Amino acid sequence: MSQFSTTAAQAANPPNMLAELLRAMRPRQWVKNVFVFAALAFSEERLWQFWNDPWPLIKTIAAFLIFCMAASGIYLVNDLVDIEKDRAHPKKRNRPFASGRLSPMVGVVAAVVLILIAVPAAFFLDPSFNFLIVIGLYIFIQGFLYSYWLKHVVLLDILILAAGFVLRALGGAAVLGVLITPWLLLCMLLLALFLGIGKRRHELMLLDANAGEHRRILEEYSLPMLDQMMSIVTASIIMAYSVTAFLAPAAPQEPYPMLMATIPFVIYAIFRYLYLIYIRNEGGSPDELLLKDIPLAGSVVLWGIAVLTVLWLFPN
């Protein structure tokens, strides 16, 4: 049997189709939606103390799931738009649509269904429309403006992806009806830029002279330019997080700013990621790195534990 016939037979098999659809929805990248929990963790009212009131945690988990549905719908749209370009990529050509293992029509239907579920669910979770507005902006900017236009505009392609992380954090704050410190939002924006620049650098390294064939926007970047941008953003992340640790409303100030004890975890995680980018030539998929690199994952987990421990032991 030819390879085409084998692929067609697999696509026609419902179990295989569902498996490929799930793969196309990129569940590994749902880890990005943990930014939704930022408002809960750093709320001045200590809403993360679920033993006092479980509803803030439940609502935040629901918001996380809604963002997962919306994000998966956007991933499907993006892969459908880039199906021909992905076939020229050494790794992305193995994606379900680009490889032919999943019918584009299945992707269209799934994307529509996911978005149609996410939007009313956002209103049901927060009838004040605040969360619905954030989800609407996220779908419109990331799913349509980026997929069809902004991904082809130099610098804006990275900035728009970074804005998606900020919208996740704002969504978490909206569903709880709390404010989130601007410094924390700046940290998330800078971290997202850090990951986005690293991803662009990895693509340039991987594709080399053929970068423009996969994505024309890559011709607008160079390794020295991206390295300069990486240096600026790296220093900015550490400074912004340090200010957040000192000045965030939820940060304990007695006997001194206790969240400063979490800064070393952030520095190590940043340096570890730089090591993976420059020495191991990784960085193409930040979510996969976080899941497979034990030192990086361990530093993030320890940072989270340290933050919650400080906030629990030292009331503001």
Mean pLDDT of residues grouped by 10 in the chain (316 residues)?
A: 43 73 92 93 83 91 97 94 81 85 92 96 93 96 89 91 93 92 91 92 76 70 93 96 87 79 95 94 84 93 92 78
The token pair at 168 is 């996740």
pLDDT in tens, 271-289: 999 999 999 888 778 888 8
Q: H helices within the chain, ranges in order?
A: 3-12, 14-24, 38-41, 55-81, 83-86, 96-99, 104-125, 130-138, 147-148, 156-176, 182-207, 211-214, 223-247, 263-278, 286-292, 294-313
**Euclidean distance between CA atoms 78 and 54, whole angstroms:** 36
The confidence score (pLDDT) of residue 213 equals 59
- The pTM for the full model equals 0.88
Residue 21: CB partners within 8 Å, gap ≥ 6? 96, 102, 106, 107, 110
Of 292, 238, 301, 245, the closest CA to residue 270 belongs to 238
**Euclidean distance between CA atoms 17 and 96, whole angstroms:** 9
The token pair at 289 is 């790195």
**Euclidean distance between CA atoms 163 and 160, whole angstroms:** 5
Domain boundary assignment for the chain: 1-180, 181-316
Which of these CATH numbers, 1.20.140.10, 3.40.50.620, 1.10.357.140, 1.20.1740.10, describes 1-180?
1.10.357.140
The confidence score (pLDDT) of residue 1 equals 39
pLDDT in tens, 48-87: 888 888 999 999 999 999 999 999 999 999 999 888 887 8
